[in-house]
Structure 1
Amino acid sequence: MSTYDYDLFVIGAGSGGVRAARLTALDGKRVAIAEEHRVGGTCVIRGCVPKKFMVMASDFSHQFETARGYGWTVDASFDWKTFLEHKDVEIARLSGIYAANLGKAGVELVHGRAVLKDAHTVEIVGKGRTITAERILIATGGRPWVPEGLPGIEHAITSEEAFHLPELPKRILIAGGGYIAVEFAGIFAGLGVETTLVYRGPNLLRGFDDDVRAHLAGEIEKRGIKVVLASQHERIERTDAGLISLLDNGLTIETDVVMFATGRIPYVKGLGLEAAGVALTEAGAIRVDGHSRTTAPNIWAIGDVTDRINLTPVAIREAVAFHKTVYRDTPSRIDYEAVATAVFSQPPVGTVGLSEGEARRACTDGVDVYVSRFRPMKYAFTGSDERMLVKLVVDAGSQRVVGVHLVGPDAPEIIQLAAVAVKAGLTKGQWDATCAVHPTVAEELVTLREKQTPSQMAG
């Protein structure tokens, strides 16, 4: 008989933690999970799910505008508070499902902040409860990062507060150039807010393909978003008229709200890792091996707190691999190659595999690049000059398609199936042999025939 209270104790009831807890409990193990906020974690409560609802709500304004070109007369208005109410009801429903599924699996849900006291012991802060476990899994996710030393930063909000603004502002400045920044820029602009996006880098979406970055920057400006690159805040000042953002390029911008979307960091503060012998990387993430085991032999970590690929489906796969490794005697590792991702900007981005730059460094025989920029059929007679980008990156030696990059309508939906082909290692010839579905934007993926020439790439 085990001398511990539980076989497994999970800290953090997000997508990864919940999956690991449920699978382990269904195998007959004694499992508990602690959550200091709401069950569901970042994705369900303050991330991808409510954000996608906001994206869909904000995109209606663009659809109404397009509808006029098709002969529709549209008289519409938007009520922010009604939307928030409906969104919050759905989030509460989803959180309840997560909690119910834990209960059905036999997992004890502990509401409170769990802090490690040693490698086998956690304390539930403020509850007077200490729990022991044979194994511990850390799945606490990440939290927004803001520059704490910036004068006036206390006047700014992060994405977490943006989900609950009591009123829709008339003007907003968003600092950042990654997923969250460009997504919220599209959200607020679509809802009629005068939106400015400020980013310290030379272009948006650092780490993405350069053609994607340049194309998206141009397209979101067509949606009325003002983009200020190569600049950052020096300070924020509050006045009777609003918030004044003073930038290092000399610009002064007055808005009602300043939102920092400058990245997220692993949520490890005050977790007691040192007491348990759990080491961090130089970047502040929990150090793990290929099987998600930390430097403490009986403690594992998965998801954003490990800062590998910070996506919900990845965290879930890491949870499954943890369960197989530890409780099914089937050592399992996650393959992090060719993981597809989407940016729900407006227009959206879908990408999988290598960027052109990455491919040029990785492919010894060089690369072939195929690019198409065109106006989607939907906008043919609406007066819109929006363009779609479709790009294939091919290993010139093996002719494998190693990267697919899309910007435009339905890009996130298309990239999911394109990822299957990239993961399978299909060649450009096999893509070409696939008959097109016409008329669709996706058919460009199998009809691209002309490689970019050096002069086109330079241009």
Structure 2
Amino acid sequence: MAIVSEATAFTPQKIIIIGGGPGGYESALVAANLGADVTIIEEKGMGGSAVLTDVVPSKTLIASADTMNRFSEAPALGIRTRAGDELVELEVHIDKVNRRLLNLAYEQSKDIRRSLEKAGVKVIEGKGRLIDDRTVEVSDSQNLTYRLSTHAVLLSVGAHPRELADAKPDGDRIFNWTQLYQLQTVPEHLIVVGSGVTGAEFASAYRGLGAEVTLISSRDQVLPGEDADAAKVLEDVFDRRGMNVMPRSRAAAAENTGDGVIVTLSDGRKVAGSHCLMAVGSIPNTADLGLENAGVAVTKSGHIAVDGVSRTTASNIYAAGDCTGVLPLASVAAMQGRIAMAHLLGDSVGPLKKHRVASNIFTSPEIATVGVTEADIESGRYQADAVMLSLSTNPRAKMMAVEDGFVKIFARKGSGTIIGGVVVGPRASELIFSLSLAVNNKMSVDEFADSFSVYPSLTGSMSEAARRLHRMPT
């Protein structure tokens, strides 16, 4: 049920947003549309790290890797690449791939800035710091320092890669995920430390681009915390494609030897490679932000504490994105920002519902999820029935020579309401949207199954899974 912003003594008109990532620029557009006087402060460029060093460039890299994967599977479709009488292999020019993805990120950043300025948002290139809950100190790109007063503030300052004391990225042989785009050649042997989303995505991508890859995982499975069936499919694909996955292994140090790297594990084992990617989590950019000056509380991890409408412990200060630790997704950051401004400016709005968030892991195959998880059901938090169908039986998948993947749907016992689902396969990020609509609109499996799906299509398996969850009325 929608709630309405609490009444205040005035309607805030002047709003300062610190940070131009998805949470920042989306909130700026909403606030401007609602008539506020909006200023946004961003140091590195509109879009923040999501656009410049994270989501946009990494998914562009993955798009190139997907093309390579499809060509490697092309013989199953009766297609080979031939130059004259000779069969030839595809070759990756990683320098061109990286130039393209950085150009795309730069253009996307410019597009966002143009949209903001067109909406009447004032853009300041620089840093912002809270002096109190209504004053922001600006240090801009012209080396000017000044203070701006405001009615309200939204913080969207993001996060940066976590580092190990004995495995510092140097941008030469040892990298964090923001530094990989300077490579001029595909690594001969890339060691990826960390098997979470970032590690798994880059490991999948660079294996697709032709690098030998070793993935060091401190947990029993790749993608710990994700759907176990999905993780198993991905591990099988990694194994088939020749990736070396080292479970229950924790990296303690990484050394640049000049012509390669040596990663030392906590039990003393060593792994040699040509390059190393450290993907061991992130740290919120909340230090030296002046939070204590404004009465903004942080959690033990340093994240800004927020409620369901993105409000901090200071009533006129909101926060959105990775700095809040809610969910490290650009879509969630954007939603937090939109909710914050609607609540602040008196528009009708409902709180963020994390159990309805759709997300995707851009490995090959992709893994998309929405709503309640199987772990939630097994723990007893939800009572639900589940059906899982392999894509190996789907006619469109057969035509595309797709062998890996499945569709899984969870429906509440009794009512048959769809409360969650998993899709593993090509373009799962697109396929999950129909299940996301079903979850958000509380559709029953019968309503979902009665909607037409195209034949042949991958969505046909989703419709079939819903049909199998039908129960005769009692």
TM-score normalised according to structure 2 size: 0.87
Pairing 1:295–2:313 present? yes
Compared CA separation, residues 240 and 48, structure 1 to 2 (3 A): closer
Root-mean-square deviation (CA, aligned residues, Å) is 2.5
- Report the 3-state secondary structure (helix = DSSP H, G, I; strand = E; otherwise coil) of the residue aligned with 2:308: coil
Measured after TM superposition, the shift of residue 251 of structure 1 is 3.6
Q: In 1, are the aligned partners of 2:174 and 2:256 still within 8 Å (CA)? A: no
Compared CA separation, residues 442 and 381, structure 1 to 2 (3 A): closer
- Of 62, 67, 70 in structure 1, the residue corresponding to residue 74 of structure 2 is 67
Q: In 2, are the aligned partners of 1:322 and 1:332 still within 8 Å (CA)? A: no
Share of identical aligned residues, percent? 28
- Aligned partner of 2:288 in structure 1 is 270
Measured after TM superposition, the shift of residue 268 of structure 1 is 0.7
- Report the 3-state secondary structure (helix = DSSP H, G, I; strand = E; otherwise coil) of the residue aligned with 2:459: coil
- Aligned partner of 1:106 in structure 2 is 120
Measured after TM superposition, the shift of residue 215 of structure 1 is 1.9
What does residue range 397-408 of structure 1 map to in structure 2 within 5 Å? 397-408=414-425
- Aligned partner of 2:5 in structure 1 is none
Q: In 2, are the aligned partners of 1:112 and 1:127 still within 8 Å (CA)? A: no
Q: In 2, are the aligned partners of 1:177 and 1:199 still within 8 Å (CA)? A: yes
Pairing 1:232–2:250 present? yes
- Aligned partner of 1:40 in structure 2 is 47
Farther-moved stretch of structure 1 (228-237 vs 435-444) = 435-444
- Report the 3-state secondary structure (helix = DSSP H, G, I; strand = E; otherwise coil) of the residue aligned with 2:69: helix
Amino acid at match of 2:121: V
- Aligned partner of 2:166 in structure 1 is 150
Compared CA separation, residues 391 and 260, structure 1 to 2 (3 A): same
What does residue range 114-193 of structure 1 map to in structure 2 within 5 Å? 114-125=128-139, 126-147=143-164, 149-150=165-166, 156-193=174-211
Q: In 2, are the aligned partners of 1:146 and 1:260 still within 8 Å (CA)? A: yes
Deviations 1:180-202 (A, max 9, x none): 11111111111111111111011
Measured after TM superposition, the shift of residue 379 of structure 1 is 7.2
Q: In 1, are the aligned partners of 2:41 and 2:124 still within 8 Å (CA)? A: yes
Amino acid at match of 1:367: A
Report the Cα distance in structure 2 between the residues aligned to 1:95 and 1:54, rounded to whole angstroms.
17
Report the Cα distance in structure 2 between the residues aligned to 1:394 and 1:27, rounded to whole angstroms.
38
- Report the 3-state secondary structure (helix = DSSP H, G, I; strand = E; otherwise coil) of the residue aligned with 2:40: strand
Report the Cα distance in structure 1 between the residues aligned to 2:20 and 2:332, rounded to whole angstroms.
15
Q: In 2, are the aligned partners of 1:66 and 1:379 still within 8 Å (CA)? A: no
Q: In 2, are the aligned partners of 1:26 and 1:106 still within 8 Å (CA)? A: no
Amino acid at match of 1:133: T
- Report the 3-state secondary structure (helix = DSSP H, G, I; strand = E; otherwise coil) of the residue aligned with 1:337: helix
- Of 376, 384, 387 in structure 2, the residue corresponding to residue 358 of structure 1 is 376
Compared CA separation, residues 418 and 172, structure 1 to 2 (3 A): same
Measured after TM superposition, the shift of residue 450 of structure 1 is 6.3
Deviations 1:317-357 (A, max 9, x none): 22222222222353542232321111100111111112212
What does residue range 426-445 of structure 1 map to in structure 2 within 5 Å? 426-445=443-462
Report the Cα distance in structure 1 between the residues aligned to 2:29 and 2:167, rounded to whole angstroms.
45
TM-score normalised according to structure 1 size: 0.89
- Of 325, 332, 340 in structure 1, the residue corresponding to residue 343 of structure 2 is 325
What does residue range 70-81 of structure 1 map to in structure 2 within 5 Å? 70-74=77-81, 75=88, 76-81=90-95
Report the Cα distance in structure 2 between the residues aligned to 1:153 and 1:160, rounded to whole angstroms.
10
Compared CA separation, residues 356 and 61, structure 1 to 2 (3 A): same
Measured after TM superposition, the shift of residue 396 of structure 1 is 2.6
Measured after TM superposition, the shift of residue 392 of structure 1 is 2.0
Measured after TM superposition, the shift of residue 204 of structure 1 is 1.8
- Aligned partner of 1:96 in structure 2 is 110
Amino acid at match of 2:427: D
Compared CA separation, residues 222 and 330, structure 1 to 2 (3 A): same
Q: In 1, are the aligned partners of 2:18 and 2:154 still within 8 Å (CA)? A: yes
- Aligned partner of 1:24 in structure 2 is 31
Deviations 1:235-254 (A, max 9, x none): 22232441101223554211
Pairing 1:335–2:327 present? no
Pairing 1:447–2:464 present? yes
Pairing 1:411–2:428 present? yes
Which sections of structure 2, spanning at least 5 residues, go unmatched? 1-12, 82-87, 470-474
Q: In 1, are the aligned partners of 2:396 and 2:457 still within 8 Å (CA)? A: no
Measured after TM superposition, the shift of residue 10 of structure 1 is 0.6
Amino acid at match of 1:69: A
- Of 209, 214, 217 in structure 2, the residue corresponding to residue 199 of structure 1 is 217
